[in-house]
Amino acid sequence: MDPLSEFIRGITRDNPTFGLVLGLCPTLAVTTSVENAIGMAAGTAFVLVCSNMLVSSLRKQIPSTVRLPIFIIIIATFVSIVDMIMEAYSPSMYAALGVFIPLIVVNCIIIGRAEAYANKNNVFYSFIDGLGTSTGFLLVLMLIGGIRELLGTGQIVTFGYTLVNLPINPSITTMILPPGAFLTIGALMAIVNYQKEKKMAKGG
Amino acid sequence: MAEDALFSIFMDGIFIKNFLLIQFLGLCSFVGVTKDVKSAAGMSGAVVFVMAMASTVSYMIYTYILVPTNMQFLDLISFIVVIAALVQLVEFVVRKNIPSLYRSLGIYLPLITTNCAVLGAVLLNENAGYNFIQSVVFGIAAGLGYTIVMLMMSGIRERSTFVNVPSAIRGLPQAFFIALMLSMAFVNYFWVIPI
């Protein structure tokens, strides 16, 4: 078990969205633009890494019968911290993400990693696992956010910089409305499934 | 916002702010438990109950305990504890009285604790500054909106089990494409009902 492969596993095989299919609500709700996607992923990453490390360092002390309530309290503490920091230092992002920042507390990715990984591994590997899973989450959110923002508004503007500007504005407003989220994730998941099947047919 | 008529809060909760299709709250159960109508209905019943109870209890805790003692920063932690306790209660009742439903819901019953729809309803109540009656009405309406969409979705999925689709689309992608069409219909309530 080497740290690098543990890190990459969080992006590929155990990718939160396409591998484990966890944490769908924020994946669909906040991906109206790349900027929101990055903000959401950063908040989630902080909570995930911190809770993974704390759960892992307390894993010998936590009695297994009451571990889930304890995990939830640990996660809720870190979410409260993120909530207050974001409200104080980046109010516009906080307003855009709205109720989804406090809702990180019920994000299945975090409690899933605490239960499946941090509870069984040491602090260092839990830290790596937290980083890898967060990176996987960030990449997926940015991909979905990018597709939706590009097709919906014709350009991608992130923190004041125009990254992409299409010569023809498609302006498919539906893409930044709720249906666009379902369309994008459905299509991406179908592509991932297709690739998996092709690989299975080839390699068995 | 706090002076809204109860009827418009009720319609808001069901259609305009529909939890599953517009706000994306509670999607795990939306794709997980909608393979047949019976478990979708059972799940929805449990969610409506927990949501209405959670709205009531958390309003009381917030107004009568956290605000007087100036400890609003503990809101998130106390809400999640309230919801966890309510879910335990529902689990006992369902296991004792309707064992068949208990088996078909499986893991999703304890998972209502981490169902973002319930905590979402409580937090939206708090953000909107609703009073007691308004909070309860919004909680019930959100639960009903959840139920309507769960029943539509499970009905469609049940009938489309034998549809011949490419194997890469079978399963989750197909569920998302069905959700896409339902969502398109719901988005139009923005224009039909003036907010």
In B, minimum Cα distance to A111 occurs at B114
pLDDT for residue A178 is more than 50 = yes
- Asked if B22's CB is within 8 angstroms of A105's CB, the reply is no
Task: Tell me which residue in B77, B114, B173 faces A106 most closely, judged by beta carbons.
Answer: B114
Name the token pair of B143: 């639960």
Token duo for residue A89: 């230092």
pLDDT tens digits for range B55-109: 999 999 999 988 888 888 888 888 888 888 888 888 888 888 888 878 776 666 7
Cα-Cα-Cα-Cα dihedral sign, residues A114, A116, A119, A125: negative
Question: Is residue A33 in a domain?
Answer: yes
Whole-angstrom distance, CA of residue B46 vs CA of residue B37: 14
Backbone angles phi, psi at A192, to 5 degrees: -60, -45
Position A18 in a domain: yes
Task: Encode pLDDT of A56-98 as tens digits.
Answer: 999 888 888 888 888 888 999 999 999 999 999 989 888 888 8
User: Of B173, B180, B186, which is closest to A193 when you measure between CB atoms?
Assistant: B173
Mean pLDDT of A92-121: 87
This complex has an ipTM of 0.84
**Yes or no, beta carbons of B120 and A103 under 8 Å apart:** yes
Contact (CB<8Å) A24/B24? yes
- Tell me the C-alpha to C-alpha distance, in Å, between residue A38 and each of A83, A131, B80, B190: 15, 15, 26, 28
Whether A195 maps to a domain, the answer reads no
**How distant is the Cα of A157 from the closest Cα of chain B, in angstroms?**
24
C-alpha–C-alpha distance, residues B87 and B173, integer Å:
30
According to the model, what pLDDT value does residue B1 have? 47
Residue A199 lies in a domain: no
Q: Select the residue of A77, A106, A193 nearest B119 (Cβ to Cβ).
A: A106
Give the SS3 label for residue B21. Answer: coil
B93 touches chain A (CB under 8 A): no
CA distance B68 to chain A (A): 20
At residue A204, the pLDDT reads: 55
Winning range, highest mean pLDDT, from A134-143, B22-31, B167-176: A134-143
pLDDT at A159 over 90: no
Answer left, alpha or beta for residue B6, where phi above 0 means left and psi between -120 and 50 means alpha: alpha
Distance CA A36, CA A24 (A): 15
Q: Are A149 and A176 contacting, i.e. CB atoms less than 8 angstroms apart?
A: yes
Whether A186 sits inside 8 A of B168 (CB atoms) is no
Residues of B in contact with A172 (CB under 8 A): none
Q: Which residues contact B157 (CB under 8 A, 6 or more apart)?
A: B34, B35, B175, B178
Compare all CA atoms of chain B with the CA of A193 and give the residue at the minimum distance. B168
> Is residue A155 pLDDT above 90, yes or no?
no
Q: What's the mean pLDDT when you consider all of chain A?
A: 87
Q: CB distance from B90 to chain A under 8 Å?
A: no
- Is B70 an 8 Å CB contact of chain A? no
Q: Helix or strand or coil: residue A157?
A: strand
CA distances from B160 to A174, A193, B165 (A): 25, 19, 10
What is the DSSP secondary-structure string of A44-74?
A: HHHHHHHHHHHHHHTTTTS-GGGHHHHHHHH
Stretch B110-130: mean pLDDT:
83
In a domain, A186, yes or no: no
In this complex, is the C-beta atom of A185 within 8 Å of any C-beta atom belonging to chain B?
yes
Length reported for chain B:
195
Distance from CA of A37 to the nearest CA of B (A): 15
Select the residue of B77, B116, B167 nearest A197 (Cβ to Cβ): B167
- Sign of the C-alpha dihedral, residues A83, A85, A91, A97? negative
Range A90-117 average pLDDT: 87
Please indicate, yes or no, if residue A200 is contained in any of the structural domains: no
Domain, as residue range, for A51: 3-145
Give tens-digit pLDDT for B126-157.
888 888 898 999 999 999 999 999 999 999 99
Euclidean distance between CA atoms A99 and A176, whole angstroms: 18
Q: Is B58 on the interface with A (CB under 8 A)?
A: no
Please tell me the predicted confidence (pLDDT) of residue A85.
92
Confidence (pTM): 0.86
Is A32 part of any domain? Answer: yes
Task: Give the H/E segment covering residue A199.
Answer: helix A178-203
Q: What is the pLDDT of residue B15?
A: 85
Tokens 């890469």 -> residue: B168
**Closest by alpha carbon to B44, among B122, B187, B154?**
B154
**Is the pLDDT assigned to residue A164 strictly greater than 60?**
yes
Identify whether the C-beta of residue A151 lies closer than 8 Å to the C-beta of residue A27.
no
Chain A CB within 8 Å of residue B13 CB: no
In a domain, A21, yes or no: yes
- What pLDDT score does B107 carry? 65
Is residue B71 within 8 angstroms of chain A, CB to CB?
no
For A24-63, what is each residue's pLDDT tens digit? Answer: 888 888 888 888 899 999 999 999 999 999 999 998 888 8
Yes or no: say if B169 and A193 are a contact pair by the CB < 8 Å rule.
Answer: yes
pLDDT of residue B39: 81
Q: What residues in B contact A76, CB-CB < 8 Å?
A: 76-77, 80
DSSP A195: H
Per-residue tokens: B184: 């398109």
Q: Is the pLDDT of residue B3 over 70?
A: no
Q: Can you tell me the mean pLDDT for B147-174? A: 88
Domain boundaries, chain B: 6-192
Number of domains, chain A: 1
Mean pLDDT of B158-171: 84
